[in-house]
A = this chain, B = another copy of it.
């Protein structure tokens, strides 16, 4: 069998603010791979089925002199991230020599493989583990989620928050998503592009739990609207990923209200919660008790656009 094309998305240059598909990342078909004659070096050959497109990928498109929790991408090398693949032993597409990061998915409920990059993957586990580790939710409290997007929304909010008996306030970036949030059972849902988050929090707060994916002005508003001893679960600050992080002005609220502001890195909590996560969520996703939506982009050539859309 002749070598076949092995499409890759290469990191081409560091974005100044938003990534530019075709410029900061380029799709490349110059590499071929001979599937019958690949040196395995004790590893396995894997064919990629689904890739997870997540906000943290933007953080890896940085100047390598800047340290962060995840290593930077290398210019001229392929992007990489979480995904689902099938091991083809001696057959197809990339050789993994270091096997410690692999998880074998049993999939007893025969769910779509893409589910394991979303609601049952890293984003879902981020929400589940962060909630279990940090929320300390008490019945009757108020929880706020600042940008209800991505698969992780489902676990942290439509499920945990309702189980815990919270009043749920959540925002999203389109009226369609706001409707979906309401279906999931949010008590207050609004479009943060057309309604002031600050005003909603002033009216509906004080808040006891704040799940933050946005940071910036929204975080500043939430600090003002927080109750004494509120918990802020900091999962991301997407408002600053492309254009830089603004200074947080209301930081003294942490002292004056005895707040806990807690960084949630799934990598540090995964081993503690993954078993419980699988057992808890897989049957509920299979039965439809946990609702979720997927935004699927077909083809490696569209990876740059998918990252920009996130």
Residues of A whose CB lies within 8 Å of any CB of B are 59, 68-69, 215, 219, 228-229, 234-237, 240, 245-265, 268
Known: A228-B265, A260-B261; 10 extra A-B contacts, CB below 8 A, are: A228-B268, A236-B255, A237-B251, A247-B247, A247-B248, A247-B249, A248-B248, A259-B261, A259-B262, A260-B263
A69 to B256, CA, bound (A): 5
Distance in Å: Cβ of A225 to nearest Cβ of chain B = 11
- A260 to B: closest C-beta gap in Å: 5
* B-chain residues with CB within 8 Å of residue A219 when the two chains form the complex: 251
Give the CA-CA distance A260 to B259 in the complex, in Å. Answer: 10
Chain B contacts for A246, CB-based, 8 A: 247
Given known A-B contacts A260-B262, A261-B261, A234 and B255 have beta carbons under 8 A apart: yes
Task: Provide the bound-state CA to CA distance between A263 and B147, in Å.
Answer: 25
Question: What is the bound-complex CA distance between A262 and B229, given in angstroms?
Answer: 9
Chain B residues, CB < 8 A from A261: 254, 259-262
Among B69, B252, B268, the residue within 8 A (CB) of A237 is B252
A237 CA to B223 CA, complexed, in Å: 16
A258 and B251 form a contact (CB under 8 A): no
Residues of B within 8 A of A252 (CB): 215, 237, 240, 245
Question: Taking A69-B228, A228-B69 as contacts, is the C-beta distance between A258 and B265 under 8 angstroms?
Answer: yes
For the complex of A and B, list the 7 residue pairs with the smallest distance between their C-beta atoms, beginning with the closest. A247-B247, A258-B265, A258-B263, A261-B261, A254-B263, A69-B256, A248-B248
Least distance between A9 CB and chain B CB atoms (Å): 24
Q: Closest B-chain residue to A240, C-beta based? A: B252
In this complex, the member of A240, A253, A261, A263 whose beta carbon has the largest number of chain B beta carbons within 10 angstroms is: A263
A261 to B134, CA, bound (A): 12
Report B-chain residues with C-beta under 8 Å of the C-beta of A236. Answer: 255
Q: How far is the CB of A123 from chain B (nearest CB, A)?
A: 15
A259 touches B255 (CB 8 A): no
Task: Give 8 A-B contacts (CB < 8 Å), ordered by A residue.
Answer: A59-B256, A229-B268, A234-B254, A235-B255, A258-B268, A259-B263, A260-B263, A261-B261
Chain B residue with Cβ nearest A229? B268
A229 to B263, CA, bound (A): 8
Closest to A264 in B: B258
Q: How far is the CA of A246 from the CA of B246 in the complex (A)?
A: 12
